[in-house]
Amino acid sequence: MNSDRIKRLSLDEIEPALRVELEPTVARLGYFGEFFQVFGAIPGAVIAFMSYTKAVKAPLADNENEVLALAVCAALGDSYERIQHERLSLRLGFDIDWIAAAEGRTNANMALLSPEETALRELALAVISGHGMGCQPAVSAATLALGSEKTTAALLQITRFMSIATLCNALDLSLPVPSVF
C-alpha cells in the first residue's frame, strides 16, 4: 500500500513539546494512534490543531460533540475516528443504542437523539452532502434548536471532523482496537 511509504513515528521519536501535548491523549486511549504517528512529523501543525480542537469543542456539550463526530465519521466511512469516538462515547456514559443512532446505523432508534442532537446530526449530513452548499435550512434549524454560538462551533467542528476523516481515509489508517459493534 502506498501509504506505507509514509513514515510512522514512535512516541519517543516525536518532538518533545508535541510528546508533552499528546501524552494525556495517549494515556486516555491506551495507545499512540497512527494519526499522530504520521502527522507527528509536522509538530507545529499538530500542536496548533490540538489547540484549535479545544477552542472549537469548548462551546459544545459532550453529547453534542459526539453526535457530530459519529455522524461525520460514519457518513464519510472513516472507521479510524468513528471507532475512537464510539469508545469515547461509552466512556462518557452514552449507551450503545445512542451511539448507533448518532451514527445513523440501519435499524437504529433515531428517537433516542434529542431534538438538539438530531438538529446537529442533520446539520452535519447537510454540510457533507452539499459540501457546504444548500445547507442553510439545516443551519437555521440548528440555530433555532441550539443558538448561534453552538451552531457556529458545530460548523467548525463538522469541518474539522471532515478533515480528519479525509486524512484517515487517504492513508487508510487503522486502530489497534475494535468497534464497539
Dist CA 130 CA 31 (whole Å): 35
Q: Is 117:150 a contact under the CB 8 Å cutoff?
A: no
pLDDT digits (tens, 9 = 90+) for 149-164: 999 999 999 999 999 9
Confidence bin at 4 (pLDDT 50/70/90): confident
On the question of pLDDT at 2 being above 80, the answer is: no
pLDDT digits (tens, 9 = 90+) for 55-77: 999 999 999 999 999 999 999 99
> So where are the chain's domains?
2-57, 62-171
3-state secondary structure of 21: helix
Q: Say which CATH topology domain 62-171 has.
A: AhpD-like (1.20.1290)
Dist CA 32 CA 67 (whole Å): 24
